[in-house]
C-alpha cells in the first residue's frame, strides 16, 4: 500500500512516493496503484526504499513489455539494460531520451547510488506545458515542419539489438525497420545501414493523447548547432532561444538522495541535469517500453 505521497515542488504534476514502516521494499508496492499515479503525473520519485540498480530493473520489469538498450552508455548488467549515466559533469539541456531515433522508449528510469555533494540534480519539464507556452509562430513552425535525422554506417550489431533477438538476420532487421514510422533506410553489402528518420518535435502523450513538445531539439543543437527540418532548413537561433527560455521557466528538479528511484514518462517529459563537481556521484538508468 502507499502511505505517503507528496507533490514535487509547487507547480509540478510529479509525485514523491515514500516508504513506510509497513512498506520498505520497492517490489512490494502495488503495481496498479502506481500506474494510477503515474498516468496523470508523468514523474514519480520513490524515496526511502533504498533502491539498487538491480532492484530498479526488477521494479521496471513489473511495468514494462521490453527494455531498450542505450548502447552508447557503459552497461553494468549482463543483459546490458542498466546503464551508468554519469558521462561528464556538465549541465545537460532538457531532452526526451532517444527522441532523435525511432527507438524512443516510453519510460526512463533513474536510480541514485550516490548523490553529488552539490548540484547534479536531474531536471525535468512537462512537454505539455512547454507546448502550451511557446509562441503561436513557433508552434506553427513545428506543426508545419517535421525534424529530419540522418545516420550513416549503423553497424548491423546495433540494429539487431532493436529486434527481438541478437541472432536476427538481415531480413529480420528489414522487417523491424519496415514497421517503423518515419524511417527510410538502406542496408549495404557489409550489413551496415544508413537511415533517415523524420519525426515531429511535438508528439502525442501516451496517457492523455495531448500535444507535448518533447524531443531532442535543444540537446542536438548543443552538439551540432544545426537541427534540420525535413525540407533541409535549420531550426532558427531565435526559436532555439525561445525554447531555452520556456524550458528554463518550467524546469523542475530532483534533488537526489541515495536509494531514490525515478520513473519518467518519456512521451511527455524532457529531462536533463544540472552541473556538478563530485566524482562520487553515481546514477544508473534503464529505458523501457511500458505495457499499460
3-state secondary structure of 37: helix
Sign of the Cα torsion 220, 96, 206, 249 reads negative
* Site residues (CB under 5 A) for Fe ion, limited to 272-291: none
d(CA 12, CA 45): 12
Give min distance, CB of 68 to Fe ion, in A: 12
Nearer to Fe ion (CB atom), residue 160 or residue 268: 268
Considering only the stretches 35-43, 93-101, 115-123, 189-197, report the one whose residues sit in contact with Fe ion under the rule CB under 5 A: 93-101
Provide, rounded to whole angstroms, the least separation between the CB of residue 270 and Fe ion: 9
Distance CA 196, CA 151 (A): 6
Only one of the segments 17-25, 56-64, 95-103, 155-163 lies at the binding site for Fe ion (rule: CB under 5 A); that segment is 95-103
Quote the least distance from Cβ 124 to Fe ion, whole Å.
Answer: 10
Grid coordinates belonging to 286: 534503464
Q: Please say which residue, 85 or 193, places its beta carbon nearer to Fe ion.
A: 85
Give the nearer residue to Fe ion in terms of CB position, either 206 or 271: 271
**What is the total residue count of the chain?**
292
**Cα–Cα distance list, 188 to 152, 170, 176, 185, 271 (Å):** 10, 10, 16, 10, 35
Interacting span for Fe ion (CB under 5 A) from 11-19, 29-37, 50-58, 96-104: 96-104
The Cα–Cα gap between 3 and 9 comes to 19
Among the residue ranges 51-59, 62-70, 89-97, 134-142, the one whose residues contact Fe ion (CB under 5 A): 89-97
The least CB distance from residue 271 to Fe ion, in Å, is 6
Stretch that binds Fe ion, among 97-105, 224-232, 234-242, 253-261 (CB under 5 A): 97-105
Nearest-angstrom CA–CA distance, 147 and 214: 12
Contact string (CB under 5 A) for Fe ion, positions 136-175, x = contact: ----------------------------------------
Binding mask 228-267 for Fe ion (x = CB under 5 A): ----------------------------------------
The sign of the torsion formed by the CA atoms of 131, 179, 105, 86 equals negative
Nearer to Fe ion, 108 or 173 (CB): 108
Residue 211 in grid coordinates: 500535444
Distances (CA, A) of 29 to 2, 50, 60, 278: 7, 14, 12, 33
- Residues found near Fe ion in the complex (CB under 5 A): 97
Amino acid at each position: 500500500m502507499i502511505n505517503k505521497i507528496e507533490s514535487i515542488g509547487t507547480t509540478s504534476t510529479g509525485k514523491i512516493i515514500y516508504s513506510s514502516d509497513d512498506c520498505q521494499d520497492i517490489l512490494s508496492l502495488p503495481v496498479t496503484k502506481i500506474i494510477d499515479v503515474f498516468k496523470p503525473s508523468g514523474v514519480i520519485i520513490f524515496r526511502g526504499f533504498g533502491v539498487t540498480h538491480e532492484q530498479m530493473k526488477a521494479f521496471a520489469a513489473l511495468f514494462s513489455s521490453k527494455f531498450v538498450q542505450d548502447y552508447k552508455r557503459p552497461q553494468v548488467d549482463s543483459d546490458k539494460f542498466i546503464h551508468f549515466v554519469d558521462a561528464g559533469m556538465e549541465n545537460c539541456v532538457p531532452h526526451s531520451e532517444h527522441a532523435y531515433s525511432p527507438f524512443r522508449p516510453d519510460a526512463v528510469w533513474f536510480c541514485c547510488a550516490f548523490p553529488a555533494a552539490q548540484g547534479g540534480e536531474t531536471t525535468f519539464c512537462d512537454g505539455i506545458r512547454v507546448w502550451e507556452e511557446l509562441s503561436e509562430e513557433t508552434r506553427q513552425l513545428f506543426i508545419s515542419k517535421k525534424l529530419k535525422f540522418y545516420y550513416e554506417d549503423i553497424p548491423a550489431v546495433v540494429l539487431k539489438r532493436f529486434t527481438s533477438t541478437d541472432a536476427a538476420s538481415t531480413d529480420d532487421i528489414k522487417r523491424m525497420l519496415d514497421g517503423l514510422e518515419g524511417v527510410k533506410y538502406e542496408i549495404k553489402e557489409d550489413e551496415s545501414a544508413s537511415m533517415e528518420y523524420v519525426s515531429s518535435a511535438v508528439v502525442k502523450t501516451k496517457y492523455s493523447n495531448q500535444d507535448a513538445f518533447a524531443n531532442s531539439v535543444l540537446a542536438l543543437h548543443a552538439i551540432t548547432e544545426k537541427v534540420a527540418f525535413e525540407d533541409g532548413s535549420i531550426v532558427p537561433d531565435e526559436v532555439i532561444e525561445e525554447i531555452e527560455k520556456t524550458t528554463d521557466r518550467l524546469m523542475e528538479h530532483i534533488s537526489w538522495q541515495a536509494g531514490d528511484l525515478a520513473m519518467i514518462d518519456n512521451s511527455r517529459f524532457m529531462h536533463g541535469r544540472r552541473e556538478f563537481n563530485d566524482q562520487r556521484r553515481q546514477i544508473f538508468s534503464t529505458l523501457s517500453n511500458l505495457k499499460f
